[in-house]
């Protein structure tokens, strides 16, 4: 008889997004993204980090103060990195698993790349203009978004 406690597709892909987030050097929020084809093949992944060649140790990670000395002007969002890491594969009709709801800038890239569905875990910036604008654009173009439904509270990976 087959195992019954195997991971669902959603758990598998969100689990991978959560694992990718663990690569983030951001002391504030670690975000992960995993983009999957309509036939459940992983196309690309990403996490929030500084642009390639901008060394993590030489970049600011502050949230406040002189804007030029905060992370916000420099950091690449997880969703943006995942889209850019596509390795030439088409993202048409794909689903994005994101550990945090995408901002308006990533929403634009999501739309332009042909992603059709967003499954997100957290939406802690729902009250910000960035996320409100993002949802406005998704609604306009018919990109669906749904909160990830947690079933297994814990996925243990022992090394
Ligand atoms: N959807 C997102 N994807 C992301 O990768 N990020 C990144 C940008 C920053 O590195 C971090 C947010 O930092 P903080 O403001 O919570 O300390 O997460 C942020 C958002 C929020 O819209
Ligand atoms: Zn973003």
47 lines ligand 1 (CB under 6 A): no
81 lines ligand 1 (CB under 6 A): no
pTM tops 0.80:
yes
- Would you say domain 7-145 falls under CATH 3.40.140.10? yes
Across the chain, how many H-helices and E-strands are there? 4, 5
Nearest one of 85, 75, 9 to 45, comparing CA atoms: 85
This complex has an ipTM of: 0.99
Distance of CA 104 from the midpoint of ligand 2 (Å) = 6
Contact (CB, 8 A) for 46 and 81: yes
User: pLDDT 10s per residue in the chain (159 long)?
Assistant: 999 889 999 999 999 999 999 999 999 999 999 999 999 999 999 999 999 999 999 999 999 999 999 999 999 999 999 999 999 999 999 999 999 999 999 999 999 999 999 999 999 999 999 999 999 999 999 999 999 998 877 889 898
Nearest alpha carbon, ligand 1 atom 2: 102
**Is 105 annotated in the active site?**
no
Kindly list the domain boundaries of the chain, sorted by start residue. Answer: 7-145
Catalytic residue among 79, 105, 149, 158: 79
């Amino acid at each position: 008889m087959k195992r019954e406690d195997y991971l669902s597709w959603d758990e598998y892909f969100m689990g991978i997004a959560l694992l990718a987030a663990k690569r983030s050097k951001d002391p504030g929020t670690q975000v992960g993204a995993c983009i999957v084809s309509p036939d459940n093949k992983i196309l690309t992944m990403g996490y929030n980090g500084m642009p390639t060649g901008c060394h993590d140790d030489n970049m600011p990670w502050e949230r406040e103060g002189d804007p030029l000395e905060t992370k916000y002007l420099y950091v690449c969002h997880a969703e943006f990195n995942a889209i850019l890491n596509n390795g030439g594969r088409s993202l048409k009709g794909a689903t994005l698993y994101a550990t945090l709801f995408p901002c308006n800038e990533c929403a634009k890239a999501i739309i332009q790349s042909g992603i059709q569905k967003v499954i997100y875990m957290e939406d802690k910036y729902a009250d910000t203009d960035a996320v409100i604008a993002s949802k406005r654009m998704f609604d306009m173009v018919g990109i669906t978004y749904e909160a990830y439904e947690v079933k297994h509270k814990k996925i243990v990976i022992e090394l």
